[in-house]
């Protein structure tokens, strides 16, 4: 197809501002689906997406649109997630586009992720079209929202399109703006092939689907292609686009977005950000590709049934291909056996992966408490990163213990500035500045330790701002702090999966909280169970779970007291033996109780 009649665009917005609903309307208005097929969030096809009502994976779909100038255009929409954890998915999608629709809620206005995604699109030098959604709401503040778009984002508010994705109002205006304002892709069809791999998907029957955006050249069925970074050659056995269902085509030209099927079954042969070229006529240099995503939250995942270990490894391998921001490596735990150390972009990302493994792949998991990546400088001068509390060396060899620091932007009403400042102060935050976005709304910027953000900062923010506050964060580096490793001992044995890294000033308090919480989570046994928190060799907190006590003298009515004493003595000796040999069963909830920072 002539590149002049192609438009590649993404929809970016804050979470819940209506991206998926607008995408569905664009499909309906261009005839990609019929009214009968139309249903909410059509592109969100993962079970976890339907259940939570959010987009997790970017999806691509090719639309055919007949403009008023009489020409038929191919519009390639790459749907993107909105949650802060999936910002990497957004950046990948934007690299395959020339323009973006920036969606803003007609009542809520510019929010934290709106700002982050707008800046990501500006960095990629994309044409941005502001779209005000939900104009059918009974209460809107469209003029104020357009003013925020101009003052906060620096975009021209006069070209904004006003739509209601739910009611299907003004969707035609949106399609016309895409054709008229987003530039056509550049690239010669007869140049050496260069196509960017922006995503991939594993199918157990067909193999790996490689999603590509062609920058130059043409690819046809039967061609032999080469992955420039991987260096492997493969024959193209199928080529096509999603419209929205998979549809085969004869060739893909410059500017087009589609998939290539080569029969690859080895998952590690496809790298996101790689460049596809012809084996016989390779391109001189590869496309820039992507920066590797930095996992910031790590946790252990172990199969409840040890026989599921190989199955879990296979499922994680497939998941890592579909989601390049997820990583895993085998590890062992004295308490839990064989499992994997997994890396995620954030807490929601971690929950989504666990949910997909348990519900879609039917694997029962025990998950340990997550922690962030730390940096350690030893007295010898060696500097390295750790993502597992078990890897912390003895305090004597540590010169400096550093934690990751994030710059956090809160957008909230001016009435909630005080509670948020108090919340950040309690979490060792460093105030940076306040900007007013209008008479009633402000953007507050803080630098906070990442460990204080990822666990429950989002929930606390929603709680103190009555649900209206939003936040976005990015990791800016590492900073030295007075950190220590806190071990948990159950019945005198250190439980490696419960170890955590805490700030020294808060260690005693956290230790007491954690012991109390574990006392509630671990059920009573036939023997007494001491629970202790320790830093090095020093015990800083202790709780004791008392033993079950069976009334062994119940049958003795009256008579000689020595009979009762004999029975009690026998019970006492039995409990003493149990204390030596009995093992404590620790439930899944206990491993996650490390997370909570609430006071009891």
Q: Binding site for GTP: which residues?
A: 16-21, 133-136
Residue 475 parent element (H or E): strand 470-480
**Which residue bears the tokens 């509630």?**
520
**Where is the binding site, in residues?**
16-21, 133-136
Structural tokens at position 393: 């060396």
Distances (CA, A) of 302 to 312, 333, 335, 532, 539: 9, 9, 10, 24, 29
**CB 255 within 8 Å of CB 6:** yes
All residues at 6 or more sequence positions from 520 whose CB lies less than 8 Å from its CB, including other chains: none
Q: Max CA-CA distance within the chain? A: 108
**CB 208 within 8 Å of CB 214:** no
CB burial of residue 508 (10 Å; 0-12, 13-18, 19+)? middle
The dihedral formed by the CA atoms of 503, 509, 511 and 516, expressed in degrees to the nearest 10: -150
Neighbouring CB atoms inside 10 A of 25's CB total 23
CA gap 390, 299 in Å, rounded: 12
Calculate the CA 172 to chain-centre distance: 33
Structural tokens at position 176: 């016309």
């Amino acid at each position: 197809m002539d590149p002049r009649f192609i438009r590649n665009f993404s929809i970016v917005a804050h979470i819940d501002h209506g991206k998926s609903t607008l995408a569905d309307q664009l499909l309906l208005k261009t005839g990609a689906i019929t009214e009968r097929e139309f249903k909410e969030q059509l592109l969100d096809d993962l079970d976890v997406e339907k259940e939570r009502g959010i987009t997790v994976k970017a999806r691509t779909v090719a639309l055919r649109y007949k403009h008023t100038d009489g020409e038929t255009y191919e519009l390639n929409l790459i749907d993107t997630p909105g949650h802060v954890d999936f910002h990497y998915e957004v950046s990948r999608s934007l690299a395959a586009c020339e323009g973006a629709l920036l969606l803003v809620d007609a009542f809520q206005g510019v929010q934290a992720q709106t700002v982050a995604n707008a800046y990501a699109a500006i960095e990629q030098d994309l044409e941005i079209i502001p779209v005000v959604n939900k104009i059918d709401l009974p209460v809107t503040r469209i003029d104020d929202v357009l003013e925020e778009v101009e003052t906060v984002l620096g975009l021209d508010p006069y070209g904004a399109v006003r739509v209601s994705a739910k009611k299907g109002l003004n969707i035609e205006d949106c399609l016309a703006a895409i054709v008229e304002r987003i530039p056509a892709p550049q690239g010669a069809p007869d140049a050496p092939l260069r196509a960017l791999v922006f995503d991939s998907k594993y199918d157990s029957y067909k193999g790996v689907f490689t999603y590509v955006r062609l920058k130059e050249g043409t690819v046809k069925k039967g061609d032999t292609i080469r992955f420039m970074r991987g260096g492997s050659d493969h024959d193209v056995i199928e080529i096509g686009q999603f419209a929205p269902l998979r549809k085969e085509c004869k060739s893909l030209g410059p500017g087009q977005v589609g998939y290539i099927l080569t029969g690859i079954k080895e998952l590690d042969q496809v790298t996101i950000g790689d460049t596809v070229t012809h084996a016989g006529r390779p391109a001189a240099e590869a496309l820039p590709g992507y920066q590797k995503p930095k996992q910031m939250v790590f946790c252990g995942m172990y199969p409840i049934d040890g026989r599921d270990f190989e199955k879990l490894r296979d499922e994680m391998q497939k998941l890592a291909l579909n989601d390049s921001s997820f990583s895993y490596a085998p590890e062992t735990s004295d308490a839990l056996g064989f499992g994997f150390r997994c890396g995620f972009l954030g807490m929601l990302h971690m929950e989504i992966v666990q949910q997909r493994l348990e519900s879609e792949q039917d694997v029962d998991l025990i998950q340990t408490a997550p922690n962030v990546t730390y940096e350690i400088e030893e007295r010898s001068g060696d500097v390295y990163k750790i993502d597992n509390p078990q890897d912390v060396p003895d305090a004597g060899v540590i010169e400096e213990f550093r934690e990751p620091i994030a710059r956090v932007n809160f957008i909230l009403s001016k009435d909630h500035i005080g509670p948020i400042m108090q919340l950040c102060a309690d979490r060792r935050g460093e105030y940076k500045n306040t900007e007013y976005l209008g008479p009633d709304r402000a953007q507050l910027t803080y630098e906070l330790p990442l460990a204080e953000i990822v666990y429950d900062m989002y929930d606390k923010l929603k709680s103190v701002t009555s649900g209206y506050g939003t936040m976005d964060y990015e990791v800016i580096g590492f900073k030295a702090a007075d950190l220590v490793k806190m071990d948990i001992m159950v019945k005198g044995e250190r439980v490696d999966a419960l170890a955590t890294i805490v700030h020294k000033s808060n260690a005693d308090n956290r230790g007491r909280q954690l012991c109390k919480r574990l006392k509630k989570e671990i059920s009573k046994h036939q023997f007494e169970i001491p629970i202790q928190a320790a830093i090095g060799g020093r015990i800083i907190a202790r709780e004791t779970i008392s033993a079950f006590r069976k009334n062994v003298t119940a049958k003795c009515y009256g008579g000689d007291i020595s009979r009762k004493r004999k029975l009690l003595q026998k019970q006492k000796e039995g409990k003493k033996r149990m204390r030596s040999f009995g093992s404590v069963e620790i439930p899944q909830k206990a491993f996650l109780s490390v997370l909570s920072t609430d006071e009891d």
